[in-house]
Structure 1
Amino acid sequence: MQKNPQKTLTRFIGLQAMGNLTARKDTALLKKLLQGTREADQEALVAGLELLSDSDLRSSFADLSCPCLSLFGQFDTLVPLQTKLNMQALVPNIETQLFENSSHSLFISESELFCKRVIAFICG
């Protein structure tokens, strides 16, 4: 990342959409949404990646007592579908939704369904 931050960002954006039918469109939209924004602080990005790599919050999920919704993309290469099953084992009353035409950026790929599902959960 430190050698070529722009290339790293481009690759990460590609990972967000990889595998679904609308990957090119989703990637283009993510890039467009980032246009004109400030470049992210490199130290903060590295720290964030390290946090993701080093953190295991499964025991914290098992202690949740509030309503919980977890959304998953069928083609997500960053969060595999096995995670959905693991979450259900940790938090038996968790609500989950599988977005069948999405990868990691399901809020882009299936934005209407995403919004409906989140609103339905909040309004309960």
Structure 2
Amino acid sequence: MGHYVAVEEDVHLYVEDIGEGKPVVFIHGWPVNHKMYEYQFNELPKHGYRFIGIDLRGYGQSDKPWSGYDYNQMADDVKGVVDAMELDNFVLAGFSMGGPIALRYMARHKQQGVSKLLLLAPAAPSFTQRENFPYGMEKKDVDGIIDNLNTDRPKMLEDFGGMFFGSDDVSDVFKTWFHGLGMEAGSYSTIHSAEALRDEDSFEDLSSITVPVESFHGKNDQICPYEFSGELQKGINGLKVVPFENSGHGLFVDEKEKFNQELLRFLGE
């Protein structure tokens, strides 16, 4: 069942709500939408879980306002969904850009309603390199992405998709479908979110996490390097990292069976 939730007077988010049981709220990555979790919302309801997938503002079937793509506003949007749907005792899962948004929700809204946190190839604690953090892209690389979004967005997303998966088993047809998810986003939405990824970080959010937390991360991730999760361990007490030896950034497809097994284990613990 799909819902539209008002998070501001003129901004409505699309939320997919499937199954019954303990809620698991999924935040997607840049520049796709909740449909990236297809092989999870096919599976979780079989095991007594309620899949809730949010299309962030600017993405998928949600409204696409000009502004509001910083981490604070995105986290506030998640809270708007949580409040409107009266969610409590739920697991919050964030992939890639959804990782820092989940972390900001935890810090900014005092972990409201969250019983466990799951980070999936997170773009955190910083997507770009900075002093004492030599991992990830340089800011000038993200500037190049933004330039290419302004000149040939379909080609830029195709090139980005070429870095996404680490398994030769991911079909060209699947990659074409996945590319289409990115094209559903607003052009300016992808640009403004890329600016947030370039400029913002999560370092100050980490100490606020007190619920059980794990990070699933591909060893061959070319977009959010595996080292990101090692750095997160320094700031989040008790964080467990689950390595995916044969995955790139798209671990939810690269090692789909392992991903779902580890997901169900984490949810059931």
TM-score (norm 2): 0.42
Q: Distance in 2 between matches of 1:46 and 1:73?
A: 26
State the AA in 1 paired with 2:161. Answer: I
State the AA in 2 paired with 1:119. Answer: L
Q: Tell me whether 27-36 or 6-15 shows the greater mean CA deviation.
A: 27-36
Question: Which residue, 21, 44, 47 being the options, matches 2:189?
Answer: 44
Cα deviation 1:57-85 (Å, max 9, x = unaligned): 12202220111121110110111122121
Aligned residues: 120
Secondary structure in structure 2 of the residue aligned to 1:2:
helix
Q: 1:97 to 1:43 in 2, by over 3 A?
A: same
1:38 is displaced (CA, Å) by 5.9
Q: Which has the higher contact order (CA 8 A, sep 6+)?
A: 1
Q: Distance in 2 between matches of 1:48 and 1:27?
A: 28
The answer to whether 1:13 aligns with 2:199 is: no
Q: Distance in 2 between matches of 1:99 and 1:4?
A: 33
Alignment of 1:27-38 (within 5 A): 28=172, 29-35=174-180
Q: Distance in 2 between matches of 1:12 and 1:116?
A: 28
Q: 1:98 to 1:36 in 2, by over 3 A?
A: closer
Structure with max Cα Rg:
2
Question: Which residue, 18, 23, 26 being the options, matches 2:170?
Answer: 26
Alignment of 1:1-124 (within 5 A): 1-17=149-165, 20-22=166-168, 25-26=169-170, 28=172, 29-35=174-180, 39-124=184-269
Structure 2 unaligned runs (5+)?
1-148
Higher helix share: 1
Secondary structure in structure 2 of the residue aligned to 1:70:
strand
Q: Distance in 1 between matches of 2:176 and 2:227?
A: 29
1:92 is displaced (CA, Å) by 3.0
1:9 is displaced (CA, Å) by 0.9
TM-score (norm 1): 0.85
Q: 1:37 to 1:105 in 2, by over 3 A?
A: closer
State the AA in 1 paired with 2:160. Answer: F
Q: 1:33 to 1:83 in 2, by over 3 A?
A: closer
1:30 is displaced (CA, Å) by 2.9
Q: Would you say the 8 A contact 2:219–2:243 is kept in 1?
A: yes
Cα deviation 1:10-69 (Å, max 9, x = unaligned): 01111112xx342xx436223224448863211101011111111111220222011112
Q: Would you say the 8 A contact 1:75–1:102 is kept in 2?
A: yes
Higher strand share: 2
Q: 1:56 to 1:37 in 2, by over 3 A?
A: closer
Secondary structure in structure 2 of the residue aligned to 1:98:
strand
Q: Would you say the 8 A contact 1:13–1:31 is kept in 2?
A: no
State the AA in 2 paired with 1:43. Answer: Y
Structure 1 unaligned runs (5+)?
none
